[in-house]
Amino acid sequence: MTLKKNIAIVLVLLIISACSASKNDGTVKVSGVIKNPIPQGEIILEKFEVGQVVPVKTVNADTDGNFEIETEVTEPGFYRINVYGQQFEILVLDKEDITITADGQGGQMIEAKGSEDLKHLAQVQDYMEQYSYVVRDFNERYSKAQQSGDNLKMEELVDEGTALEAGKVKKLKTMAWKMNGSIVPLMVTDYFPDKSQEYQFLDSLGQKLQEELPGSSQVEMFVNNLAYFKPAVQMGDIAPEISLPTPDGKVINLSDLRGKYVLLDFWAGWCGPCRKENPNVVAMYNKYNKDGFEVFGVSLDRTRDKWVSAIAEDGLIWPSHVSDLKYFQSEAAMTYKVNAIPFALLLDPEGRVIGKNLRGRALQNKLASIFE
């Protein structure tokens, strides 16, 4: 599975929420019942705004656990109901009133009903919960294979993991596209492991939402932020130059390998998925190096010792290893807009990109089509 620098729904909600643009002029009521209410316990309606979660209104339930909160809503926005500071549920408020059911003793999850947006949220949350079980099972099977030294099984599981992530993204994209007139797709996209790989979809989604929700500050913020995820290099482009030091301090260039097929591989010793893929890259290097295949490894490690140790431990025998030891602030990572690893590009002898993020069997098949 791909590692990310920033994976948190709340952070995305904080980023995409902004000052309101006039859409609705109504009052929305959030009401419900708290089973087993705590005397004087606070129920807080909170709103996600730029950089913070802001309390909107605070109430106490009556002796029967009933409560009611009214607030002005001028456009669809992301909110949260906070029950006693112990239970939280994300809401989307627009035009419809919302009904909440919760348990003050934590005996059940908060249930929110009343709008299509909440149905969309529940659909996504249910899917991701089921997906988490699949991932847990996958990780357990991979750990067993790793402990037993079953390299063949590990290779099969790498392919399976790649397929799982691809299937997840495909499912989420379908969900998001069908949520017409809703801001929930903005949250859905945070589950994408690498948004730069899905830039074309995100761009199309942004245009769709602009048409469906004109004037929405959340949508406009989303669209404006897309520039960050626009890939620096597209298929067919000449790969930008990289000039960085090797472990010995000698500066070498990516262009030094022109005339050969090159896997430009961004990785790090601390990156588990990268280390899982390394045996496959080693096997491909051993198989095709004599035919003109090279690897140019760019490490996003922070220390030389960990970088060099990972090279030795994984048997990365190709000579082209570089790093400026600046993590994701690496000059090369910033040039290529790398915000998640592993990230790899396959270059032809002219330095043009002919493949992106090929791993496992996909890399094997691509190289076989070139050299066999």
101/66 Cα distance (integer angstroms): 10
Single-letter amino acid, residue 15: I
Q: Does the pLDDT at position 14 exceed 50?
A: no
Tell me if residue 23 falls in helix, strand or coil: coil
Structural domain boundaries in the chain: 9-112, 118-229, 243-371
Please determine, for residue 4, whether its predicted confidence score (pLDDT) is greater than 70: no
- Kindly indicate whether the domain formed by 243-371 is annotated with CATH number 1.20.1090.10: no
Q: Are 317 and 282 in contact (CB under 8 A)?
A: yes
d(CA 63, CA 53): 28
pLDDT range class, residue 244, cuts 50, 70, 90: very high
For position 25, what pLDDT does the model report? Answer: 54
> Kind of pairing, strands 293-299 and 321-322?
parallel
Instruction: Using the predicted structure, report yes or no on whether residue 13 has a pLDDT greater than 50.
Output: no
pLDDT for residue 20 is more than 90: no
- Determine the Cα angle at 316 with ends 314 and 322, to 5°: 120
Q: Pick the more confident residue, 68 or 17.
A: 68
Q: Is the pLDDT of residue 349 over 90?
A: yes
Q: Which residue has the tokens 């390998």?
A: 257
C-alpha distance from residue 14 to each of 9, 80, 219 (Å): 9, 12, 13
Long-range contacts of 300-303 (CB under 8 A, 24+ apart): 300/266, 300/267, 300/268, 300/271, 300/326, 300/327, 300/328, 300/330, 300/333, 300/338, 300/341, 301/268, 301/269, 301/270, 301/325, 301/327, 302/326, 302/327
pLDDT for the residue numbered 107: 66
pLDDT digits (tens, 9 = 90+) for 110-146: 899 999 999 999 999 999 999 999 999 999 999 999 8
- Closest to 110 measured CA to CA, from 67, 74, 77: 67
| pLDDT tens digits along 199-228 | 999 999 999 999 999 999 999 999 999 988
Q: pLDDT, tens digit, for every residue of 267-287? A: 999 999 999 999 999 999 999
Torsion angle in degrees (nearest 10) through CA of 298, 263, 257, 347: -120
CA dihedral 191, 196, 200, 205 (to 10 degrees): 40
Residues 39-70: tens digit of each pLDDT: 889 999 999 988 799 999 999 999 999 999 99
Residue 19 above 60 pLDDT? no
Q: Is 145:154 a contact under the CB 8 Å cutoff?
A: yes
Closest CA to 245 of 326, 178, 317, 177: 326
Q: Indicate the burial class of 132 (C-beta count within 10 angstroms; 0-12, 13-18, 19 or more).
A: exposed
Separation between Cα atoms, residue 125 and residue 111, nearest integer Å: 12
User: Both tokens of residue 219?
Assistant: 């949508």
Query: What is the rounded CA–CA span in Å between residue 186 and residue 31?
Result: 26
Q: Report percent pLDDT > 70 for the chain.
A: 93
Strands 26-35 and 66-73: antiparallel
| Cα–Cα distance, 3 to 248 (Å, whole number) | 28
pLDDT exceeds cutoff 50 at 7: no
Considering only CA atoms, which of 64, 62, 66 is closest in space to residue 30?
Answer: 66
According to CATH, what is the number of the domain 9-112? 2.60.40.1120
Q: What are the tens digits of pLDDT across the range 145-156?
A: 989 998 888 878
